[in-house]
Amino acid sequence: MQDFYSTWLENSENIEKTVKAAPRVAKGKSLAWVRTRQDSKAALMIAPETGFPTGGSLLMKAEIPAGWHTGRHLHGEEAVYVEKGEGFLILDDRRYDFHRGTIFHIPHRSAHQLFNTGKEAVVYISGLAWPLEAFVRMGRIEQFEDAGANDPAALAKIAPEESQYWPVDGRRISMHEEQFERSAETKHGA
In order of their start, the domains of the chain are: 34-179 (2.60.120.10)
Per-residue pLDDT at 37 exceeds 80: yes
> Rounded to whole angstroms, how far apart are CA atoms 43 and 63?
9
Per-residue pLDDT at 167 exceeds 60: yes
Find, among 38, 40, 37, 43, the residue nearest to 58 by Cα.
Answer: 43
Total-model pTM: 0.88
**Which of 19-23, 54-58, 99-103 is the most confident on average?**
99-103
What pLDDT, on a 0 to 100 scale, did the predictor assign at position 65?
99
Banded pLDDT at 114 (limits 50, 70, 90): very high
What pLDDT, on a 0 to 100 scale, did the predictor assign at position 21?
86
Find, among 52, 48, 69, 78, the residue nearest to 145 by Cα.
Answer: 69
What pLDDT, on a 0 to 100 scale, did the predictor assign at position 190?
55
What ranges in the chain are assigned the alpha helix state H? 4-21, 130-135, 152-156
* Cα within 13 Å of Cα(47), Cβ side: 17
What pLDDT, on a 0 to 100 scale, did the predictor assign at position 52?
87
Banded pLDDT at 189 (limits 50, 70, 90): low
**Cα radius of gyration (the chain):** 19
What pLDDT, on a 0 to 100 scale, did the predictor assign at position 1?
62
The pLDDT tens digits of the residues spanning 42-74 come to 999 999 999 888 889 999 999 999 999 999 999
C-alpha pair distances (Å), 182 with each of 125, 151, 179:
21, 39, 9
- Residues 66-83 have a mean pLDDT of 98
What pLDDT, on a 0 to 100 scale, did the predictor assign at position 47?
92
